[in-house]
């Protein structure tokens, strides 16, 4: 098994170092290879996703990704901006199914901006379609308007589109995921206004006929944004398009108290995947050793479960993370009165220590 390690920019390198440390103590057989991506790759090779990095990602069994981006690249032409690396990887690796769990850890209930009773025990899964919609729809560009409100004026345009197979495959992913959970899918659309999303709703409804054991609910995106803060626990699996999923997954992440805790997986049709924390590169705190490495460590756990067929190792990492939270260790983003503030490296070390202890316990028992 080969894992491509792409730390990226900003806090990416710091948090990745901790995840790599955690993977190293698991006694599993795999090879890792590290490559530059994002702004770091642009600086070194003139492109955010150099051919060599893409080749490595394609050849690997899984990709562990940190974060990309920095304000200093905002002025670059779009094709050279760090974000293009992640969009390019999604496109070239066919990573159409994005899993973004929003879990509120018992120990962090009070870190949420919502009342504790609204989020205690929250465990929802946003499944975002990742290679279609207005993100990749062609044509797009700038031109002189020939019609509209201001004919003759300069305008920009993008194209929102979804084909039947694109909707069918993500719907199957959502229903199958719901079967392993609480058997409820909420499909989020804007069918009251958009042709694309009336079609989305129709196709999801058709696919649902194959999953009579799963409950399907349709919800408009504006209402979904409202329900997510009103009664988040009423959701189980939420499936939606690329654009709405981008927005709703950030909203859902924040319900849990810290985006610094949330992993994500982007899978292709064979469950090969790219795993990354839900948060970004946080250039404001980069290099200071204060970033929360837990989302990246939990992303490594997701990778072991989904792509590398090592569910026991994934469970061990997740238990170790719970153990360090129970011991009161907190990075700044999840710190509260009465807990111990630690830096990135101390948090990683604590997870490693918890893993080593759990291993010793297991050996003693058997």
Pairing mode of beta strands 97-103, 123-129 = antiparallel
CA 65, CA 73: separation in Å to the nearest integer?
A: 19
Answer with the entry of Mg ion, ligand IPM, none that 86 interacts with (C-beta below 5 to 8 A by kind): ligand IPM
Answer with the entry of Mg ion, ligand IPM, none that 87 interacts with (C-beta below 5 to 8 A by kind): ligand IPM
Answer with the entry of Mg ion, ligand IPM, none that 158 interacts with (C-beta below 5 to 8 A by kind): none
* 135 among known catalytic residues: yes
Q: What are phi and psi of 230, to 5 degrees?
A: -80, -50
Stretch that binds Mg ion, among 8-16, 96-104, 242-250, 289-297 (CB under 5 A): 242-250
Answer with the entry of Mg ion, ligand IPM, none that 346 interacts with (C-beta below 5 to 8 A by kind): none
Binding residues for ligand IPM, rule: CB under 6 A, are: 83, 86-87, 246
The minimum distance between CB 183 and ligand IPM, in angstroms, equals 27
Please work out the total of residues on this chain that contact Mg ion, with binding judged by CB under 5 A: 1
Catalytic option among 190, 211, 275, 333: 190
H or E segment and range at residue 127 = strand 123-129
* 73 among known catalytic residues: no
Contact residues for 292 (Cβ-Cβ < 8 A; gap 6+): 15, 258, 260, 261, 331, 332, 333, 334, 344, 347
Q: Measured at CB, which residue is nearest to ligand IPM? A: 83
CA 173, CA 128: separation in Å to the nearest integer?
A: 10
Instruction: Please name every residue paired with 263 in a beta bridge, in sequence order, or none if there are none.
Output: 277
Q: Is 246 in the site for Mg ion (CB under 5 A)?
A: yes
In the chain, the N- to C-terminal Cα span, in Å, equals: 28
* 27 among known catalytic residues: no
* 246 among known catalytic residues: yes
CB atoms < 10 A from the CB of 94, how many?
15
Answer with the entry of Mg ion, ligand IPM, none that 83 interacts with (C-beta below 5 to 8 A by kind): ligand IPM
Which structure tokens are listed for 289?
Answer: 């050793």
Stretch that binds Mg ion, among 218-226, 228-236, 239-247, 286-294 (CB under 5 A): 239-247
Catalytic option among 2, 72, 202, 222: 222
- The CA angle 170-175-180, to the nearest 5 degrees, is 125
- Residues 10-39 binding Mg ion (CB under 5 A) are none
* 158 among known catalytic residues: no
Task: Please list the helix, strand and coil fractions of the chain in percent, rounded to the nearest 5, in that order.
Answer: 50, 20, 35
Contact 344, 292 (CB under 8 A): yes
Stretch that binds Mg ion, among 4-12, 226-234, 246-254, 290-298 (CB under 5 A): 246-254
Sites of contact with Mg ion (CB under 5 A)? 246
- Enzyme catalytic residues: 135, 190, 222, 246, 250
């Amino acid at each position: 098994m080969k894992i491509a390690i792409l730390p990226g920019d900003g806090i990416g390198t710091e948090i990745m170092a901790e995840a790599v440390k955690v993977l190293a103590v698991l006694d599993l057989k795999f090879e890792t290879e590290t490559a530059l991506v994002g702004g770091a790759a642009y600086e070194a090779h003139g492109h955010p996703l150099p051919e060599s990095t893409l080749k490595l990602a394609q050849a690997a069994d899984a990709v562990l990704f940190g974060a990309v981006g920095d304000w200093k690249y905002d002025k670059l032409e779009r094709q050279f901006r760090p974000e293009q690396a992640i969009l390019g990887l999604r496109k070239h690796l066919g990573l159409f199914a994005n899993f973004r769990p929003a879990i509120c850890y018992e120990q962090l209930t009070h870190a949420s901006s919502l009342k504790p009773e609204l989020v205690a025990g929250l465990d929802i899964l946003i499944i975002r379609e990742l290679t279609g919609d207005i993100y990749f729809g062609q044509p797009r560009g700038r031109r002189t308007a020939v019609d509209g409100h201001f004919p003759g004026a300069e305008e920009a345009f993008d194209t929102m589109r979804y084909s039947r197979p694109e909707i069918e495959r993500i719907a199957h992913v959502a229903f199958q995921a719901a079967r392993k959970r609480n058997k409820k899918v909420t499909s989020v659309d804007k069918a009251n206004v958009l042709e694309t999303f009336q079609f989305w709703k129709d196709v999801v409804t058709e696919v649902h006929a194959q999953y009579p054991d799963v409950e399907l609910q349709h919800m408009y995106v504006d209402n979904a944004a409202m329900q997510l803060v009103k009664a988040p626990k009423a959701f189980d699996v939420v499936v939606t398009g690329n654009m709405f999923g981008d927005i709703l997954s950030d909203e859902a992440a924040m319900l849990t108290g810290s985006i610094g805790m949330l992993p994500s997986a982007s899978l292709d049709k064979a469950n090969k995947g790219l795993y990354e924390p839900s948060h970004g590169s946080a250039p404001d705190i980069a290099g200071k050793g204060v970033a929360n490495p837990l989302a990246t460590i939990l992303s490594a756990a997701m990778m072991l479960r989904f792509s590398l067929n090592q569910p026991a190792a994934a469970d061990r990492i997740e238990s170790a993370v719970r153990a360090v939270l129970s011991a009161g260790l907190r990075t700044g983003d999840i710190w509260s009165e009465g807990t111990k503030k630690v830096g990135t490296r101390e948090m990683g070390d604590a997870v490693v220590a918890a893993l080593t202890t759990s291993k010793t316990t297991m050996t003693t028992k058997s």
